[in-house]
Structures are given as structure tokens and as C-alpha cells.
């Protein structure tokens, strides 16, 4: 039996919530419409009734003025008018200003007849008591006699008309209220169909199979923006997975050769008795291979660490690249001299950047090692450090063998080795990770690296690093 948390509850789904919201809005609109129609209808009907009652009371008042002082004639005229408006349910009442009834029609209710005159300063007024509404007109005769003429009707007629309108409105509203959940669900299904498509596509995705992409309808709405954002993320993840797979394959290929050589050397050494000198040569070969393997392993660990830490996490100190370059040139000066290479430095002013000092030392060391390795005897290497705009520029220019144009685009790829001339010069010393490590270390501190080269003439490596901000203290 499924647990309560795993039971499907439609009102908790997006479609269910949209349906409930749509239904609630429809019910609120129906309720508001009922109130507005009721108040509006009553106001309109009351204005129409008041207009008719005012017209009737003015006719009676005109007859009173014409026939006075013949009260019997006035009463006869009022009785005639009352009979002619009997179908409307009108009643009439004639009284003095003191509240004495002169005449009232048969339909005049006691509540009206017993209501004393008020607001005599207003010659014409409309009043309602209980369920009766009447118009009142004050008539002053020349003999200083003041009469009040009342013509009214029961508001039950208004209530019946309003009830009829409300009945129709409630019937239509009830039908809409029953229809609202169905229509709301249909609209919710249409509105959430892109979400369903996204879910189905996302459900098909697997960690190693990210070819599918979420559908983008071209409407530029929020769902399209969400799908486009997720697609860009999938592109990045797929590219990263592809690079990881290629990296693993390249690493396996790079390590297989030395391991095979070690195994072959040991198998040959053990195949038959040999002299101590031959054994020593074999062990030296194995030692060289293991040193190479250790270097590759250390480089791989460094790249893995830097890939997991994309941004700089230093102590915030500003590092002087000119000092680092000077120390590196001093360290490599002996090696360059032994190989007949002129190594010089041009750095006349401090060039501070924000970065890890150990990382920048490694970058500068790698570049100088490469330059010496690929520069023949009699060549030269110039190291320059200077400020340019809002950053620092560091360059290493050599007169070495150069790099072919076809190889320049891939020199930063891991395990990539350029043409035969450079590969021969680096044989046994490089695993093809040096420049990849440099780029990874520089990226962590906001730097960029680029290479310009011409085969047979030399290579220039350029590094651009941003200056430290005002909140960074100097080391």
C-alpha cells in the first residue's frame, strides 16, 4: 500500500492548482456580478418608480389647485386617478400639514397613513417606510391652507423584479460555476503542456546521453526562457562530459606507453641471466619511466584540483609578477647558459596582480622551461613584464623552432603534442600538460594566455592579468 506522501493528489499538481485558481476566480466574479447587478438593478428600478410617482403626485397636486376649495371635487378626482392606476398598485393620500387625513385610497396602508409629515420645508420629496415607497408634494392654497399629497406603491414589485433578475443570474452563474473546473482544467492542460514536454525530455536524459534538448516553442515566454537556460546548461554539461571522456582516454593512452616500456624492460631483464651493468641500465630505464609517470600523475592531480576550484581562493594578497619573473630568470639562467641560450629580463617597475604566488611561479617556470627546451644553441629568450591599461602583461619571446599554424589552436589541449620537431625536443620531459596547467592556473585568477608563433623563427607567449582591487593588501 503506498504511503500517504506517495499518493497522487491532483490538487497539489500545477494543473490542479491552476484549475482551483481559475474556479476560485470565476466564483469571485460570479459573486461580485450578483452583488453589482442586484444593487444596480434596484437603483435603476427605484429611479424609474420615483419618476412615475413624482409624475402622479404632480397630477394630483395640479387637480387640487384647480378644484380647491371644492374638497369633494378634489376627492372625486383623486378617487378616479386611484382607480385608473389600480393595476400599478398605487395608493394615494391627501392630508393637511398638521397630519389630519382628508382622504386616502383603499390601498393606502396604515403605515403610510400614520406617518406624520416631515421636512415640510422641502416642497417635494420621496420617502420609504418598510416596504412602501411614496412621493410627497406640498401644496399651499391662497387661504393659508397647506395640503400634502402622497402617491406611492409597494416595493414588493421591485423585489419581485430584482429576484427574477437574480434568479436568471444565479442560474447562469451556477452553470458557469459547474463549468469552471472543466474549462479551468482544459486551460491548465494547455498552459502546462510545455512543462510536460520538458519533463518528458528531461526524463529521457541520462548522465552519459545528453543529446536530447528541451523543446523551445519560439514564444519567448518564461517557459521558453527556462528551456533555453536548461539547454545551455545541458550543452555545458555535455561538453564537460565529452572533455572528461577525452581526458580519460588521453590519460590512459599517455600512461600506457611508459607502463608497457617498463613491463617490457623488466620481462627482458628477467628472461635470462645478465651482468650487473645490464641490470643497472635496465633499472635506470625503469627509473626514468617511473619519474615520467609520477610527473604526469602529479600534473593530472593538479588539473583535477583546479577544475574543481574554478575561482581564486587566495588570501587576498597582491603578487608582484616582476619579482616572480626575476626569480625564475635567475633560476633558469644556469640551464640557459649551459645550452648556449641568451636569457634576459625587462621589468623596470612593480607589476602587482591578485593571485596565488605558487601558481604564478609554476606558470612562469613552465613557460621558461618550454622556451629553453625548444630554443636551439645560439638562440635568445626575452622575458618582459609591464603594466598595460588596467592590467599587467607578461611575455616570453624565444627564437626557437616555433609552432605550426595547424597546432596553435590545440596547444592548450591536454596531452596534445605539436609537430615532430617540437615533440623530439621535448621527448621524455613533457606529458603534454604544461600549457593546459598554465591556462587552468591563470583562469583561476582571472588571467588569459595566448601564443603567437612562426615556424623556424620563434614563439611569443603573452599573459594578461588584472590588477588587484583597492581592498587587496600588498604582500
- What does DSSP say about strands 342-346 and 380-388: parallel, antiparallel, or unpaired? parallel
Is residue 187 assigned to a domain? Answer: no
353 pLDDT higher than 70: yes
- Give yes or no: residues 298 and 318 share one domain: no
Residue 467, H or E segment? none
Specify whether 292 is located in the same domain as 379: no
DSSP secondary structure code for residue 13 in this structure = S
Tell whether 139 and 37 lie within a shared domain.
yes
Least confident interval from 113-127, 249-263, 337-351? 249-263
Per-residue exposure over 365-380, b if at least 16 CB sit within 10 Å of its own CB, e if not: bbbbbbbbbbbeeebb
Pick the last residue of a domain from 281, 307, 333.
Answer: 307
Q: What's the number of domains the chain is made of?
A: 3
The reply to whether 458 and 388 lie within a common domain is yes
Examine the fold and report which residue of 259, 277, 307 is the final residue of a domain before the chain moves on: 307
Shared-domain flag, residues 149 and 248: no
In a domain, 286, yes or no: yes
Region 189-193: mean pLDDT is 79
In a domain, 410, yes or no: yes
Residue 7: per-residue pLDDT = 53
Mean pLDDT value of segment 74-79: 87
Residues 325 and 448 in one domain: yes
Task: Give mean pLDDT, residues 428-441.
Answer: 72
Q: What pLDDT does 316 receive?
A: 52
- Please give the residue range of the domain that contains residue 133: 15-162
Q: Is 337 exposed, middle or buried (0-12, 13-18, 19+ CB in 10 A)?
A: exposed
At 418, is the pLDDT very low, low, confident or very high (cuts 50, 70, 90)?
A: low
DSSP three-state, residue 336: helix
* In contact, 412 and 436? CB cutoff 8 Å: yes
The answer on 322 and 298 residing in a single domain is no
CATH number of the domain at 399, please: 3.30.565.10
Contact (Cβ atoms closer than 8 angstroms) between residue 342 and residue 380:
yes
Could you say which of 307, 337, 371 is where a domain stops? Answer: 307
Asked if 128 and 153 sit in the same domain, the reply is: yes
Q: Could you tell me if residue 47 is inside a domain?
A: yes
Residue 142 in domain: yes
Task: Using the Cα atoms of residue 466, residue 326, residue 434 and residue 336 in order, give the sign of their dihedral.
Answer: positive
Rounded to an integer, the average pLDDT of 400-415 is 82
Task: Answer yes or no: do 289 and 423 share one domain.
Answer: no
Q: Is residue 203 part of a domain?
A: no
Residue 273 has pLDDT above 70, yes or no: yes
- Give residue 393's pLDDT: 92
Cell of 256: 600506457
End-to-end Cα separation, the chain, in angstroms: 67
Is residue 5 pLDDT above 50, yes or no? no
Looking at the fold, whether 263 and 328 belong to one and the same domain comes out as no
Please check the confidence at residue 420 and state whether its pLDDT lies above 80. Answer: no
Alpha carbon distance 284, 277 (integer Å)? 11
Domain membership of residue 168 (yes or no) is: no
Residue 258 is part of a domain; what is its CATH number?
1.10.287.130
The verdict on 425 and 444 lying in the same domain is: yes
CATH number at residue 99: 3.30.450.20
Mean per-residue pLDDT, 327-347: 91
Question: Which of 295, 297, 300, 279 has the alpha carbon at shortest distance from 428?
Answer: 295
Whether 27 and 103 map to the same domain: the answer is yes
Average pLDDT, the chain: 82
Distances in Å between the Cα of 26 and the Cα atoms of 19, 23, 29, 183, 399 are 11, 5, 5, 11, 81
The more confident residue out of 194 and 334 is: 334
Question: Rounded distance, CA 290 to CA 295, Å?
Answer: 9
For residues 30-45, average pLDDT? 89
Element (H, E) at 101: strand 101-104
Instruction: Give Rg (Cα) of the chain.
Output: 51
Classify residue 176: in a domain, yes or no.
no
Amino acid at each position: 500500500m503506498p504511503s500517504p506522501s506517495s499518493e497522487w493528489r491532483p490538487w497539489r499538481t500545477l494543473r490542479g492548482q491552476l484549475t482551483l485558481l481559475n474556479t476560485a476566480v470565476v466564483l469571485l466574479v460570479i459573486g461580485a456580478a450578483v452583488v453589482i447587478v442586484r444593487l444596480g438593478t434596484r437603483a435603476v428600478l427605484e429611479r424609474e418608480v420615483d419618476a412615475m410617482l413624482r409624475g402622479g403626485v404632480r397630477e394630483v397636486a395640479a387637480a387640487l389647485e384647480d378644484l380647491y376649495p371644492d374638497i369633494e371635487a378634489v376627492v372625486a378626482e383623486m378617487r378616479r386617478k386611484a382607480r385608473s392606476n389600480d393595476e400599478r398598485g398605487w395608493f394615494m393620500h391627501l392630508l393637511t400639514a398638521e397630519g389630519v387625513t382628508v382622504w386616502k385610497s383603499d390601498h393606502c396602508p396604515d403605515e403610510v397613513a400614520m406617518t406624520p409629515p416631515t421636512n415640510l420645508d422641502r416642497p417635494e420629496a420621496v420617502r420609504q417606510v418598510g416596504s412602501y415607497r411614496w412621493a410627497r408634494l406640498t401644496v399651499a392654497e391662497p387661504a393659508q391652507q397647506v395640503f400634502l399629497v402622497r402617491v406611492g406603491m409597494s416595493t414588493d414589485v421591485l423585489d419581485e423584479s430584482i429576484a427574477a433578475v437574480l434568479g436568471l443570474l444565479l442560474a447562469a452563474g451556477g452553470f458557469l460555476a459547474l463549468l469552471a473546473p472543466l474549462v479551468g482544467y482544459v486551460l491548465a492542460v494547455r498552459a502546462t503542456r510545455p512543462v510536460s514536454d520538458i519533463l518528458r525530455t528531461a526524463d529521457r536524459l541520462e548522465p552519459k546521453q545528453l543529446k536530447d534538448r528541451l523543446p523551445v516553442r519560439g514564444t519567448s515566454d518564461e517557459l521558453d526562457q527556462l528551456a533555453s537556460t536548461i539547454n545551455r546548461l545541458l550543452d555545458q554539461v555535455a561538453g564537460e562530459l565529452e572533455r572528461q571522456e577525452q581526458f580519460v582516454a588521453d590519460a590512459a593512452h599517455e600512461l600506457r606507453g611508459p607502463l608497457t616500456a617498463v613491463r617490457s624492460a623488466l620481462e627482458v631483464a628477467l628472461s635470462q641471466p645478465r651482468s650487473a651493468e645490464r641490470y643497472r641500465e635496465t633499472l635506470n630505464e625503469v627509473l626514468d619511466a617511473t619519474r615520467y609517470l609520477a610527473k604526469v600523475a602529479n600534473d593530472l592531480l593538479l588539473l583535477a584540483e583546479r577544475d574543481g576550484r574554478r575561482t581564486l581562493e587566495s588570501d587576498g594578497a597582491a603578487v608582484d609578477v616582476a619579482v616572480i619573473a626575476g626569480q625564475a630568470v635567475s633560476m633558469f639562467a644556469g640551464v640557459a647558459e649551459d645550452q648556449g641560450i641568451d636569457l634576459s629580463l625587462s621589468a623596470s617597475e612593480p607589476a602587482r596582480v591578485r593571485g596565488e604566488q605558487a601558481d604564478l611561479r609554476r606558470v612562469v617556470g613552465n613557460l621558461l622551461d618550454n622556451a629553453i627546451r625548444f630554443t636551439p644553441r645560439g638562440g635568445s629568450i626575452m622575458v618582459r613584464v609591464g603594466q598595460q591599461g588596467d592590467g599587467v602583461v607578461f611575455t616570453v619571446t624565444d627564437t626557437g623552432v616555433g609552432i605550426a599554424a595547424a597546432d596553435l589552436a590545440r596547444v592548450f589541449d591536454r596531452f596534445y603534442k605539436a609537430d615532430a620537431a617540437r615533440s623530439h625536443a621535448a621527448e621524455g620531459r613533457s606529458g603534454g600538460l604544461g600549457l593546459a596547467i598554465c591556462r587552468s592556473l591563470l583562469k583561476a585568477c582571472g588571467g588569459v594566455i595566448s601564443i603567437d608563433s612562426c615556424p623556424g623563427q620563434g614563439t611569443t607567449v603573452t599573459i594578461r592579468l588584472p590588477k588587484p582591487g583597492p581592498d587587496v593588501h600588498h604582500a
